[in-house]
Structure 1
Amino acid sequence: MTTTSKTASNVLMNGAEYWRCLEDVLARVVSFCSSRSLKEGFCVHAPVVKLCLHDHLYVNNNLLNLYGKCFGLRDARQLFDEMPHRDVVSWSGILSTYAKNGRHGAAIDLYRDMADSGVYPNAFTFSCVVRSCAALSDLDYGKRVHGSLVKHGLQSNLVVGSSLIELYSKFDSSDATKVFGLIDEADVVSWTTMISSSVRAGKYRQAFQLYIDMIKSGVTPNGFTVSKMLAASGFLGLEYGKLIHAHAVVLGVELNLVTRTTLVDMYSKCQRMEDAVKVAKLTNDSDVVLWTRIVSGFAQNSNFQSALTALADMNLAGISPNEVTYLVLLNECSPILSLDLGTQIHSRVITAGLEDHIPLGNALLDMYMKCSDTVEDGLRVFKEMQSPNVISWTSLIAGFSNHDLQQDSFRLFIEMRTAGVLPASYTLTTVLHAADSPSQTLQLHAQVIKLKVSQEIFLGNALVDAYAGSGRIEDAWRVVRTMNKRDIITYTSLATRLNQSGHHKQALEIVRHIANDDGVKMDGFCLAGFLSASSYLGKQETGQQLHCLSVKSGFGSCVSVLNSLVDFYGKCGLLDEARRAFAEIREPDVVSWNGLMCGFASNGFIDDALSTFDEMRLAGVAPDKVTFLSVLFACQQGGLIDRSREYFDSFRDQHAIEPRLEHYSCLIDTMSKAGRLEEAVEVLETMPLKPDASIYRNLLAACRVHNNLRLGEDMARRGLELCPGEPVFYVWLAKLYDDCGRSDLAEQTRKSKREWFSRVEPDGTLEQDESLPEMKHVML
């Protein structure tokens, strides 16, 4: 070979070496930038194209990874589409990018395209696809992918196994356990995934057993494992949490920010805020999540002043509260009805410029509706919301309903539909509870059918309750029969409504339907309702059978059942049985004492009734309005006029219970029956409430007994002005005239009664004519 040819050959060899070195440098630079998520790696792309290295697969794969991490899905997909060559790394890279961006359906489509291209997936590919199936809750396709990876011999791979555990644990923990058993030498990731699935399923003790087995197998937990165990400890108790905390310290597990945040959460749930704050201050690094957990912890423990102080300290630390921080506070202050606290949070939300955040607006709306005495504050928040969603409308509708503004609540539902907002199931349930007429219930039922949600059991229960509450019992039963599935709430709602409307016999018939409905089991609350129906009907045998059923079903110690038994036996006159049922109640509440007291009073055992009231006070149980009425009723039955007045005044002065109309009525009736009519009228004239017809009716009856014609005429006049169509006023007034020797006025009164009712139209209205004033004059 000549010297010239050797030189040329060396130049070519050096040139090739140069290009190989250049390719290697570019590949290393891109790989380094990709591993560090450095956007500067983008600068390498231009020389790669200029030097015609765009078909270099290794460089392109690293560029694809860099684009996916730093520049988003669109740029990564564009690069992928322009790649002249693709291998399993290329496909897995773009598939992973789609999955990380929440495009799980598209990731699965890419997996199918990859299979069609003839490229075989690897463990990382399968792991990404299985995780996408888990995110989509697509168990069927996940099983198909599982079958494919088994064919590829990857069923025991650690990475794939962890993904499969995550998928199956969302549906059946036993399948996840089987997958875990197939993994060769499970590592900390696999163990942690199993523990995490148990915690997510609420199987906290199972999570602890897995943790123990993990330690025994020689696998050392990491910070993520500890975090999951601390989450479980928050539900199991402080001792578990302290044990995991100590073990993490012994093992030298780094208490990074995530782990410390979980520790704060655990101690907060265990009501150890002092320890939670100590953990938070172990290092100087903190973020909004950690501070939010501290604020949340104080709020959950009802220490709202400390929560607000922590909020101020958070700002001083240079960390601005976010929408989650304020949401936590609002959600905690609503149940305790703290309007002042809610208002303070509202002002901070405005200061932080977060008033347009819809979830925060919904939380503020809910807080005002629950905490304020009026709906105005909540309505103002709603009107300031730029785009109220279905949750906003539902909170507004529920708020109006809870303030007894049912008509407005239904009107708001119509406005919501007019605004084009589609109601959710819980919206329909809310407005069904607010429906106060059969026509409204029918309209809402039509909406339920139109939206094709009629088979949801809680909606069916709401329809049953709405129909039965408006007196349409047959329609309620029709809904019950059309429901695919019923539960005890279905029948309890129906029985409760039947009891309220006086259909006690029909209520008891529901027992048979429950017995014939597979999968529905009686509960204590339902049994209490049937016992109540038995007591009203005086069906002693039925009530005793229900008593036996309650014992057999394990509800013999249920307070609601025992309270109903006390009431049932008391109304049936079986006072020894009532005492026995009362004695079985471990901690009698006000309902228990009221039932026993009423049983004694209604059966004439006045001293026992009043002694029961004294025992109730000694037991430290505060009386309520029913207690008030029971005591007055006992005094009425025993003719204890003076004591009746004393009790009346004591309930108002000592127990701060404002008398209602029924209390005044009972006191007036007690006085009038004893002949102390002037005192009864004095109470009538001075009470702050408007009397009803029954008070005038009882006073008229007492006037007849005591031959007080003047007062009797006055009571009849007042009663007829209030209730003109009440025949008893005519009858008793006529008899009073007879008893007082005024048969002429008695006859005129009876004649007036006949003329009055002859003018009543078929629709119940009165035909008015000129003789009406004259008729009233003759009578009164």
Structure 2
Amino acid sequence: MMSKVAASAFLSRNNELGNLQQSCIRILSFCESNSSRIGLHIHCPVIKLGLLENLDLCNNLLSLYLKTDALCNARKLFDEMPHRTVFAWTVVISAYTKSQEFVSALSLFDEMMASGTFPNEFTFSSVIRSCTGLRDFNYGARVHGSVVKTGFEGNSVIRSSLTDLYSKCGKLKEARELFNSLQNADTISWTMMISSLVEARKWREALQFYSEMVEAGVPPNEFTFVKLLGASSFLGLEFGQMIHSNLIVRGIPLNVVLKTSLVDFYSRFSKMEDFVRVLNSTGDQDVFLWTSVVSGFVRNLKTKEAVGTFLEMRGLGLQPNNFTYSAILSLCSSVRALDLGKHIHSQTIKVGLEESTDVGNALVDMYMKCSASEVEALRVFRSMISPNVVSWTTLILGLVDHGFEQDCFGLLMEMVTQGVDPNVVTLSGVLRACSKLRLLRQVLEIHGYLLRRHMDGEIIVGNSLVDAYASSSKVDYAWNLARSMGRRDIITYTIFVTRLNELGKHGMALSVISHMCADGVGMDQFSLPGLISASANLGALETGKHLHCYSAKSGFSGAVSVLNSLVDMYSKCGSLEDANKAFEEIATPDVVSWNGLVSGLASNGCISSALSAFEEMRIKGTEPDSVTFLILLSACSNGRLTEMGLQYFRAMKEIHNIEPQIEHYVHLVGILGRAGRLEEATEIIETMQLKPNALIFKTLLRACRYHGNLSLGEDMANRGLALAPFDPAFYILLADLYDESGRPELAQKTRNLMNEKGLSKKLSKSTVEVQGKVHSFVSEDVTTVEKTNGIYAEIESIKYEIERSGSSYRGNENASFHSAKQAVVFGFLYASPKAPVHVVKNKILCKDCHDFVSNLTRLVDKNITIRDGDQVHVFKNGECSCKRDETSFVLP
């Protein structure tokens, strides 16, 4: 009797469980995508009652979780299932792929293969899409092998997925072969191939593929045209207009997706009329279209239109999304509208977008570019929940721009520690910090990281490395690196020109032109100023004129940066008329333009004209900067305008709110020193708030030597040597002061001490350009036959002719063959008869050389220019533009 009762109870329970299972399956089949709570209510009894053996129930529950985007719960259920069908494996792998969790998808596929479950065509399709998402060609190739082994190679969906994988991994030849093997390829397959070519930046090939698609009789759809418009954005306006015409001819409905693409395309070419016409062509509108309109106005810096569209969008009841807010914040960054940026920031908080990574990135960029402080940007960044590589990169680049280069290295380490891999832009920013700080060790470390990650092939990284090495004076290393790059562009060469000029290697900077020509890289408005500057510093007027002609022919002669460099070049070569012409061509001179004009006039001895130009600058509304006052103080020093110099120094702070730097104090001490007001100059040094440097002591020591103040001179020499013990100029100036004060024994002792320290006078070097080539000369140079076969003899011959002419000049034997004389005579002998001679000397011109050249221009009808430092001596008819100020020279 008991056994019958037990059997009956057992059967009854089984029937109840069976009914429960069937009920659960029916409930799950009716659940919608927003019913994840029902899934949880069913999941609990499934576990408690041990129903996990029911595959239908588990699969239905699994489907519900995935339908409701509850991937975490789905994986939990999947791991609990004792038996898993290919369906279960496939739906979870597919869900990971759909959620772009590609690594998890491939990891689960590995588990599936290890379990012995054979994948089907849907499994393979999802796995291949994950490989495509990761750009993992090696894994994808292995999956392709499995596809072939399991007999799914003929499946059109899998073939399309493999085609997409190969093309997006750069294997375009193989992708094309796979595509050609497709039988009756449909619109989706053709569009996928076009999309892959666009993504691979093969824009012309994408358009060619479209032509083949049309010839094959396969009709394109709206998504095909979206991809083609994307390619046209890089090819040119006429290509996009052709695609637009095709779209109309084929009668493709202008839905909101196509409108968005067309609006984006026309805005990229600033075709605002077409942009608006497309927008108003149909009534279809959504938030993405309006965002594209806002972005279009932002791209063209149409501030009022962008903000107006943003407000109109909200007025129509369309809630701007994270991309809309990011676009407006980008506008704020571009036009430096901090107040508007702050207002948009508050709006993002109100609508709950403060946690959006895109909005956070735009806010960091806005605050970095618009605010004088980095505090707000850091606050936004630290409040971000999931900062991505763009977030970190934006912060690092902003800190470099704000002068916090040292902080970038700590941020880079923190970024890597948090599992965010830096990209090429991040590392380029950090390399820029290395360039500013001259940190060679960090450059080497980053270079090693790039090599290990195979990221060194990107041109942006190559250029940053070249800049970093060149900034650290490793020019040869930088050059070898540049030559090893697969492609060099104008930025590569502009970097070289800039850094070589900074290192004083102006001849090498000009040699870059031949390498640019060999690479087919033309000069532009960014490289030309550096090359013209190199010509200016070498006194290479002929080369500078050729560059001027090139700029005019190439359409860059109107660029302010090019004209500024021409003003500087002509001024340094003593051609003030040409310098003035270049200045007059500047439509709106900036402070750099005016500084160049004032400096050029002052250095050529036109002190009153220079000061007049400064007053004109102020009248026309250009505010002077600290460089302007350096030029003015130097002009007052050279012109012996002591009181005027003192007035300008006071005006810096009192009128223009510019805090004097140590360089300004050096010039002030020079002005007072030349005027013999040594006590006042000493008081300036003692009372200024800045710490004195060696140069300011050297400047006053030079004045003490000129005025014969031995005690003060000794004090200045001692204090200067305490800061710069290996600067030979202090020993030379002090020894000369001892000689002129009647203390030859102390002079000799000073020179002996200098020799014991292994110090020597800076080698006197002069350069002159003859027929486009720059020639260098050093004092007592007998290194080449070309120079010794005639130049020394010609110098003696000229001295003899000068004496015969009745001049009082007799020449100093110690200065017989100074480098300036050699360069002048070489130019005189070998330059064309009508060409002026331009010499650049690395030291102050001595009195003997000055008198020699002055007398030479009295004998011959030849203009000779010598630049020593900031002073330009223009010799003509026995006169010099410097008006023979004795303090401008040194003794031979």
Asked whether the 8 Å contact 1:88–1:120 carries over to 2, the reply is yes
How far has the Cα of 1:371 moved from its partner? Answer: 0.9
Asked whether the 8 Å contact 1:531–1:546 carries over to 2, the reply is no
How far has the Cα of 1:111 moved from its partner? Answer: 4.8
Question: Is residue 169 of structure 1 aligned with residue 167 of structure 2?
Answer: yes
1:76-134 superposed Cα distances (whole Å, 9 cap, x missing partner): 67887899998766654554345334454554456556656766544333323322332
Shift in alpha-carbon separation, 1:626–1:226, aligned structure 2, 3 A = closer
1:347-377 superposed Cα distances (whole Å, 9 cap, x missing partner): 3213213234454234223212211234454
How far has the Cα of 1:177 moved from its partner? Answer: 0.9
Partner of 1:732: 703
Partner of 2:227: 228
Pairing partner for 2:602 from 619, 631, 636: 636
SS at match of 1:455: helix
Question: Is residue 495 of structure 1 aligned with residue 470 of structure 2?
Answer: yes
Partner of 2:343: 344
1:607-636 superposed Cα distances (whole Å, 9 cap, x missing partner): x3244323432x234434444344334433
How far has the Cα of 1:582 moved from its partner? Answer: 1.4
Question: Is residue 612 of structure 1 aligned with residue 601 of structure 2?
Answer: no
How far has the Cα of 1:518 moved from its partner? Answer: 7.2
TM-score (norm 2): 0.63
Pairing partner for 1:698 from 670, 674, 686: 670
Asked whether the 8 Å contact 1:730–1:750 carries over to 2, the reply is no
Question: Counterpart amino acid of 1:616?
Answer: F
SS at match of 1:613: helix
Asked whether the 8 Å contact 2:436–2:471 carries over to 1, the reply is no
How far has the Cα of 1:179 moved from its partner? Answer: 0.8
Asked whether the 8 Å contact 1:556–1:562 carries over to 2, the reply is no
1:300-354 superposed Cα distances (whole Å, 9 cap, x missing partner): 2222322233223333333322222212221343133222331231232132132
How far has the Cα of 1:273 moved from its partner? Answer: 4.7
Question: How do 1:703-714 and structure 2 match up within 5 A?
Answer: 703=675, 711=677, 713-714=679-680
Partner of 1:502: none
Question: Is residue 525 of structure 1 aligned with residue 524 of structure 2?
Answer: no
Partner of 2:449: 455
SS at match of 1:220: coil
Asked whether the 8 Å contact 1:668–1:680 carries over to 2, the reply is yes
Shift in alpha-carbon separation, 1:590–1:715, aligned structure 2, 3 A = same
Partner of 1:770: none
Partner of 2:311: 312
In 2, Cα distance between the equivalents of 1:195 and 1:724? Answer: 65
Asked whether the 8 Å contact 1:295–1:311 carries over to 2, the reply is yes
1:246-275 superposed Cα distances (whole Å, 9 cap, x missing partner): 433443444444334333333333434554
Question: Is residue 623 of structure 1 aligned with residue 581 of structure 2?
Answer: no
1:276-298 superposed Cα distances (whole Å, 9 cap, x missing partner): 45545555554332332222222
How far has the Cα of 1:160 moved from its partner? Answer: 1.3
Question: Counterpart amino acid of 1:524?
Answer: Y
Partner of 2:121: 123
Question: Counterpart amino acid of 2:563?
Answer: W
Partner of 1:579: 545
Partner of 1:9: none
Gaps of 5+ in 1: 1-21, 463-484, 499-505, 704-708, 737-745, 766-780
Shift in alpha-carbon separation, 1:428–1:513, aligned structure 2, 3 A = closer
1:686-727 superposed Cα distances (whole Å, 9 cap, x missing partner): 443547343234324543xxxxx5x45534543565559715
Gaps of 5+ in 2: 1-18, 726-892
SS at match of 1:583: helix
Partner of 1:263: 262
Question: Counterpart amino acid of 1:491?
Answer: V
**Structure with bigger RCO (C-alpha 8 Å, 6+ apart):** 2
How far has the Cα of 1:165 moved from its partner? Answer: 1.1
* Larger displacement relative to structure 2 (639-648 or 83-92): 83-92
1:419-472 superposed Cα distances (whole Å, 9 cap, x missing partner): 98678647777567557998x969x949x96xx99422699999xxxxxxxxxx
Question: Is residue 288 of structure 1 aligned with residue 303 of structure 2?
Answer: no
Partner of 2:142: 144
Question: Is residue 658 of structure 1 aligned with residue 624 of structure 2?
Answer: yes
Larger helix proportion, structure 1 or 2? 1
Equivalenced residues, count: 675
In 2, Cα distance between the equivalents of 1:544 and 1:457? Answer: 31
Question: Is residue 602 of structure 1 aligned with residue 596 of structure 2?
Answer: no
Q: Percent identity between the aligned chains?
A: 31
Shift in alpha-carbon separation, 1:223–1:376, aligned structure 2, 3 A = same
SS at match of 1:373: coil
Partner of 1:467: none
In 1, Cα distance between the equivalents of 2:129 and 2:384? Answer: 37
Partner of 1:207: 206
Shift in alpha-carbon separation, 1:179–1:416, aligned structure 2, 3 A = closer
SS at match of 2:177: helix
Asked whether the 8 Å contact 1:157–1:184 carries over to 2, the reply is no
Question: How do 1:317-716 and structure 2 match up within 5 A?
Answer: 317-378=316-377, 381=380, 395=394, 398-404=397-403, 409=407, 413=410, 425=422, 445=442, 454-456=448-450, 487-498=462-473, 507=475, 513=480, 523-529=492-498, 532=501, 536=504, 546-555=512-521, 557-585=523-551, 586=554, 587-588=556-557, 589-603=559-573, 605=574, 608-617=575-584, 619-654=585-620, 656-660=622-626, 662-671=627-636, 673-674=638-639, 676-688=641-653, 690=660, 692-700=664-672, 702-703=674-675, 711=677, 713-716=679-682
SS at match of 1:183: coil
Shift in alpha-carbon separation, 1:636–1:357, aligned structure 2, 3 A = closer
In 1, Cα distance between the equivalents of 2:477 and 2:85? Answer: 68
SS at match of 2:335: coil
State the superposition RMSD in angstroms. 5.1
Asked whether the 8 Å contact 2:576–2:601 carries over to 1, the reply is no
